[in-house]
Amino acid sequence: MPERAAAPSSSQPESTVPDARARRITRTTGGLLLLAMTLWMLRSYLTALCWAVIIAISVWPLYRRVQARLEDSRIAAPLLMTSALALLLVTPLALVLTEVGREGQIVMGWLTQLQQNGMPVPASIQHLPILGQQLNAWWQTHLGQPQSAQQFLSSFNSQTLAEWSKTLGGALLSRVLQAFLTFLTLFMLLREGEQIGGRVLTAIDRWFGTPGERLAETMTEAVRGTVNGTILVAIGEGILIGIGFFVAGVPNAALFTVLTTAFAMLPMGAWLAFGTAAIILVLSGGAIAVALAVFAWGAAVMLIGDNIVQPALVGGAVRLPFLWTLFGILGGLETFGLIGLFLGPVLMAALLTIWKQQSKPALSNRLPTHP
């Protein structure tokens, strides 16, 4: 009878261990390269995706309440929430564009009158203490007489205006596309939020264990605290500065209040808004002292709100020290732009969480042991 073949050994040969390790390294490297290529391909739209993730995390508790009232609807609840957020964004923009279009007709009439008759120097400019003489001479040279006004306005030729309009139109279309992609992604994130969140937590638990779950919770709280703090501070700053507009008699005070509130979420945006309001107040015949008071009031509100109130609200939400929060906000803005306003505190909170977790074992080893 032929000899029976020897049964295979139950233990895995040692030669297969390096092969398995090599395959694991190859899969990891290939996955990282695929991720890098995907991010590079989507680099123009990463900002929209990041905004959608930030908004989804911020409104998730409110969305869960809406979903519960709508009997856990997977279509109506995310559609209602996304539409409401889009309406909150579009309404102020529509009001501003409507007012700008209305004021544009006044500006065109003013330019026509300027070309025909010129414009005398406003009395408020003549009485400026330091720059009054220089501004008076410049005004008389360029705008005082019809000929000089026509020559000054002719420098803004039609070709320059056409190029400027083309650039502005392209930027506007790009922003509209980014906004559409942001809200479309937001709808998908809200609809599939539970499944996506579960998969993310599973991956974090597999890679980092329990410390990774605590890190994810801290970063989520940091995002919500930053968004809520920024919005609340911007609304408060806009209301306080708007009260100053109404008291000082700034033309179109309601419009400037809306602009200041919206621009308060942008770096130096509110400063541009109430600075422009102060200039328009002077040009409309208001006293220079009142305009300076408007600017000083706006500067005081912004300095206190941006440097004290906002870091306190953001840091309090995740128990970040004031200095860490301030550096996170400023560094995030400088590095990532507007979205860095939210990413900066999140990164600082993640770093602080990791540092605390790493320092706990060292501190526990130094504690005296009792017999």
Please state, in angstroms and as integers, the Cα–Cα distance from residue 170 to each residue in 46, 122, 140, 166, following that order.
19, 37, 37, 6
Shared domain for 265 and 154, answered yes or no, is no
pLDDT tens-place string over residues 11-49: 555 555 567 777 778 877 887 888 888 888 878 888 888
Residues 254 and 113 reside in one and the same domain: no
213 in the same domain as 169 = no
Look at residue 18 and tell me if it is in a domain.
no
The DSSP code for 118 is -
Same-domain pairing of 228 and 91: no
Domain of 145 in residue numbering reads as: 44-191
Q: Is 69 within a domain?
A: yes
Per-residue pLDDT band for 285 (boundaries 50, 70, 90) equals confident
Residue of 266, 83, 107, 116 whose CA lies nearest to 187: 83
Q: Which residues of 137-167 are buried (b: 16+ CB within 10 A; e: fewer)?
A: eebeebbbeeeebeeeeeeeeeeeeeeeeee
Mean pLDDT of 187-214: 77
For residues 339-362, give the mean pLDDT: 71
How many structural domains compose the chain? Answer: 2
Q: Are residues 125 and 243 in the same domain?
A: no
Q: Cα(332)–Cα(342) distance, rounded to whole angstroms? A: 7
- Clarify whether residues 186 and 214 are in a common domain: no
Is the residue at 204 inside a domain?
no
| Residue 371 in this model has a pLDDT that exceeds 60 | no
User: Is residue 229 in some structural domain?
Assistant: yes
Mean pLDDT of the 43-57 span: 85
Q: Choose one of 191, 221, 243: the last residue of a domain.
A: 191
User: Among the three residues 133, 162, 191, which one is the final residue of a domain in this structure?
Assistant: 191
Same domain membership, residue 187 and residue 227: no
- pLDDT confidence tier of residue 308, bands split at 50, 70 and 90: confident
Average pLDDT over residues 63-82: 84
Q: Of 126, 161, 191, which marks where a domain is finished?
A: 191
Claim to verify: residue 216 and residue 187 sit in the same structural domain = no
Question: Are both 305 and 344 inside the same structural domain?
Answer: yes
pLDDT at 44 (0 to 100):
81
> Do 155 and 96 share a structural domain?
yes
Instruction: Please report the pLDDT score of residue 297 as a whole number.
Output: 93
User: Do 240 and 343 fall within a single domain?
Assistant: yes
Tokens at residue 134, please? 């220089």
Q: Give, rounded to a whole angstrom, the gap between the first and last alpha carbons of the chain.
A: 72
Q: Per-residue pLDDT averaged across 187-196, rounded? A: 86
* Residue 28 belongs to some domain of the structure: no
Of 358 and 250, which is predicted with more confidence? Answer: 250
Query: Average pLDDT of 300-305?
Result: 89
Query: Does 333 share its domain with 305?
Result: yes
Q: What pLDDT score does 369 carry?
A: 46
Report which of residues 15 and 63 the model is more confident about: 63
319 vs 91, higher pLDDT: 91
Q: Angle at Cα 359 formed by Cα 355 and Cα 360, nearest 5°?
A: 120
pLDDT over 90 (residue 226) = no
Residue 267: pLDDT over 70: no
- Structure tokens, 310: 């906002």
User: Residue 12 domain-assigned?
Assistant: no
Task: Determine, yes or no, domain membership for 129.
Answer: yes
Can you tell me the mean pLDDT for 119-135?
A: 62
Does residue 339 contact residue 54 with C-beta atoms inside 8 Å?
yes
Domain membership of residue 203 (yes or no) is: no
Query: Is residue 104 pLDDT above 70, yes or no?
Result: no
pLDDT classification of 77: cutoffs 50, 70, 90: confident
